[in-house]
Structure 1
């Protein structure tokens, strides 16, 4: 099998605060294949962004990698210092941040913000960098590229700014793109265009994408595989079909049940009771147990292992144990489609 472009092995990341240590990412292991779109989903604060920024070493000094390894294209970068990471950012890995309104410098023309990364990583002339910058604007679907190249961000709409941010991220042909809530601040129509653009760019360039989102509807449209995070841990991972048509973790059942598109007319929108735990002092056992109507006694005592549902599908819940009672999932897209 082809070696993954990115591997996280038992990665744990924490923050030192005045109130104690916050365990933001806990024992996360996953792989990203070349040309794959892997979606990371979960509630706000579950560790999605911290995990991705830990790979890029963009976290503040109060953070630390407690354990685990980060392997990019076969190379272990866990202990890389800032000087070494600067060579990787942009050229090997790049990131699209959540809000295009604050990502771009409002005083600098778009073209200069794109070519800055090109000159830095490729050591080309300004003329060649400009040519490449115009090509990038064309790639992300900006019309009248030469005219727009010299304009400041306030001349662009929100969707166009997000396209420009994407152009900057792709300017040096990275192998891995982290898209952190890249469509959250956009209206539905523009959101769909950005998703189609990401798919088109993946098909044209073969880039691997980690798509971070809390919107399952968006994830269903773009992802090849999906990893669901809760309280800093991956609780279920599989192909998009595995997660949407055969979810096995009660947290994923709750997320699916809360989808407005799957709620019948006249019915109340389902919710997950309670709130996520405070990670200053994570609860013993399964962190979701206190919110889980199907929780077993062991959920409050021991962390569940990852059970194999199929060669592509894994889930961390004691309900998969052979001694556990058999519970029929309360949500099924297949059932709802038939209805």
Structure 2
């Protein structure tokens, strides 16, 4: 089956007064119809830039340095704003991480939903209102007929996020980008939003790119997981493969840092050091300076993607046949709990 989304050797840079910032570097990803692909990594690793590049929502000083973006068989790499406006909504949509700033506080929720419906569908305002009510019902808002006329401040944080999701789904998009959609919510509401996304996927067949730094959240929702570091995908596989057979030292570090993998009385684990400045990316493997298992070649040459299984790939010289054999740290293997 042909993927509904393909990113081929995609590299994205920002031109700044101090020089070029390489935010995304040579990324290859695909997304199948009805699949949930999670993109994880520390802040600044390029997750959000990657997602927004597909919808062409990046600032003017950004540029696609090389590569292709293919949506449902159509190459949109060089699409300008006019063409992208026709794609945003029916083909591509996005849920941003902060519903407090996503919604206009002065406009009723219903009007914010119908705006998208009227833009992309030949329907009357009355029909658009009916669709908006259906959307609010779909995302679990009680009494949508009454609440459609309310402004955002009448809703709780979790309900606002549901309203943002209703706006994103209003034009029945094929692909939904969810950028940290549960970050500002408490644990109970987080679980409800994740269950809602799974339910909507099952009902509509929509494909979802779920962007997050929270591996616990990702484990609950993702079919496949791509781990990003310094603008590159360093590991990708099914959720089971990445969580229970991680192969890149960076993935080991992320999993070790989960609170569930820390015993009582023990300090939370962390990855020592800081991500590199992408204005001047280091040679070789960008994670080498923070990697206690780094080899000499890690400082000299960027590792290729090694294939572990038909669906599992990772970029680390530790898998090279010439490298000393290093397995998943026993402490992580014993304690991993998602």
Q: Same fold (TM over 0.5)?
A: yes
In structure 2, the residue corresponding to 1:284 is in which secondary structure? coil
In structure 2, the residue corresponding to 1:3 is in which secondary structure? coil
Aligned to 1:150: 149
Distance 1:337 1:44, change over 3 A: closer
The question of whether the paired residues in 1 share the 8 Å contact of 2:99 and 2:157 is answered with yes
CA distance in 1 between counterparts of 2:213 and 2:325 reads 29
Distance 1:147 1:332, change over 3 A: farther
Render the CA deviation track for 1:255-301: whole Å, top value 9, x for unaligned: 11111111111222211110000000000000000000000000000
Aligned to 1:221: 220
The question of whether the paired residues in 2 share the 8 Å contact of 1:245 and 1:333 is answered with no
Segments of structure 2 that go 5 or more residues without pairing to the other structure are none
Aligned to 1:67: 66
CA distance in 1 between counterparts of 2:90 and 2:122 reads 12
Aligned length: 337
Aligned to 2:268: 269
Render the CA deviation track for 1:34-74: whole Å, top value 9, x for unaligned: 00000000000000000111110000110000000000000
In structure 1, the residue corresponding to 2:226 is in which secondary structure? strand
Aligned to 1:255: 254
Aligned to 1:167: 166
Aligned to 1:246: 245
Q: Tell me how far 1:331 sits from its aligned partner.
A: 5.4
In structure 2, the residue corresponding to 1:65 is in which secondary structure? strand
CA distance in 1 between counterparts of 2:243 and 2:331 reads 8
Q: Structure 1 residue 88 and structure 2 residue 65: aligned?
A: no
In structure 2, the residue corresponding to 1:60 is in which secondary structure? coil
In structure 2, the residue corresponding to 1:67 is in which secondary structure? strand
Render the CA deviation track for 1:158-207: whole Å, top value 9, x for unaligned: 00000000000000000000000000000000000000000000000000
The question of whether the paired residues in 2 share the 8 Å contact of 1:97 and 1:180 is answered with yes
CA distance in 2 between counterparts of 1:281 and 1:21 reads 8
Q: Structure 1 residue 306 and structure 2 residue 305: aligned?
A: yes
Aligned to 1:199: 198
In structure 2, the residue corresponding to 1:117 is in which secondary structure? helix
Aligned to 2:230: 231
Render the CA deviation track for 1:231-272: whole Å, top value 9, x for unaligned: 000000000000000000000000111111111112222111
Aligned to 2:99: 100
Aligned to 2:127: 128
Q: Tell me how far 1:316 sits from its aligned partner.
A: 0.2
The question of whether the paired residues in 2 share the 8 Å contact of 1:46 and 1:232 is answered with yes
Distance 1:331 1:86, change over 3 A: farther
The question of whether the paired residues in 2 share the 8 Å contact of 1:107 and 1:152 is answered with yes
In structure 1, the residue corresponding to 2:128 is in which secondary structure? helix
Range 266-275 or range 51-60, more displaced: 266-275
CA distance in 1 between counterparts of 2:323 and 2:70 reads 36
The question of whether the paired residues in 2 share the 8 Å contact of 1:246 and 1:332 is answered with no
Segments of structure 1 that go 5 or more residues without pairing to the other structure are none
CA distance in 2 between counterparts of 1:181 and 1:19 reads 29
What's the RMSD between the two structures over aligned residues? 1.1
The question of whether the paired residues in 1 share the 8 Å contact of 2:256 and 2:332 is answered with no
Range 268-277 or range 239-248, more displaced: 268-277
CA distance in 1 between counterparts of 2:23 and 2:2 reads 28
Distance 1:331 1:221, change over 3 A: farther
Aligned to 1:27: 26
